[in-house]
Chain A
């Protein structure tokens, strides 16, 4: 089974900061990597699919990148509504999926 290692598990930042969250796959998954945002008490929301394609309606301050088995989610100029938990997910194994452990982004 593919393992997804996400880091850091938590992150403190201020409005206006730039933050990067990382996700590593245990084997090659091409670009089958997706990112989700989850606010407290809400369902996950798709942000990025195919490692770097922004879902419709997602602000352009969000971006994704891939290098081999290493993937990153970058948020430029953090806004108040961005403080949430972020998950990576591999869809290479679809219909099986594996999520990363999550990164909780908190206000400093």
Chain B
């Protein structure tokens, strides 16, 4: 059974840092691209960052470029999101999701989400 479990959220100060982790199981992690998607409570879904299978292709939405870093450790079956210089508007649930192996690049499995609250 495919499982994605996010950890690392909590309450952070503006300007602070946090690292989210996503532990993957039930599939060959190194075969798949991965993404982070966030959702402000009560609002819609917003793609944040993506990484290909070996980590040599990483992309970010403009609002997090230079502040967030996506990475992965295939030996540990884990995905990470290092979030620096946090802003109030980064407050959201953060989901990790797997990019399906087929042609359409859909997100076929999601974690349960992890809340990051940025507040002074």
Q: Which A residues are within 8 Å of any B CB, using their own CB?
A: 31-32, 34, 36, 38, 42-46, 49-50, 53, 55, 87, 89, 91, 94-102
Q: What mask results when residues 89 to 116 of chain B are scored 1 for a CB within 8 Å of chain A, else 0?
A: 0000001010110111111111111000
Q: Which B residues are within 8 Å of any A CB, using their own CB?
A: 33, 35, 37, 44-47, 50-52, 57, 59, 61, 95, 97, 99-100, 102-113
- The CA of A102 and the CA of B47, in the complex, are separated in Å by 14
- The CA of A100 and the CA of B111, in the complex, are separated in Å by 20
**Cross-chain pair count, CB within 8 angstroms:** 75
- The CA of A55 and the CA of B107, in the complex, are separated in Å by 11
Q: Contacts A31-B104, A95-B52 hold; do A87 and B45 have CB atoms under 8 A apart?
A: yes
B111 touches A95 (CB 8 A): no
Interface of A is mostly: loop
A-B contact pairs, 8 of them (CB 8 A): A44-B45, A49-B100, A49-B106, A95-B51, A95-B59, A97-B35, A99-B45, A102-B44
